[in-house]
Amino acid sequence: FFQPIAFNLYPNPSDGTVQLQLNQSYQNAEIVVSDLAGRMIFSKVYENLQKAQIELNEASGLYSVSVKVGDKVVSTTLFIAR
């Protein structure tokens, strides 16, 4: 049985440093951050992911943060305010 992926992203809005906390630990999970034009600005695969800190040196604006596990993807919006 596969539990739905759920995560919290904080702080949001952020100065570029964000914490991502998943509802459980996932194997081979990927975090992808893209701008609203679809340009990928961060991507990392984790062997075992439940919590991660992401450093983004991007301009103020809205970004999409996705967590991918297998064929499942969950996304949310991050606002960076500098």
Tens-place pLDDT, residues 16-51: 999 999 999 999 999 999 999 999 999 999 999 999
CA torsion sign for 18, 62, 43, 70 is: positive
Tokens of 5: 């992926």
- Answer yes or no: is pLDDT of 3 > 90: no
Nearest to 23, CA basis, from 62, 67, 80, 79: 67
pTM for the full model? 0.93
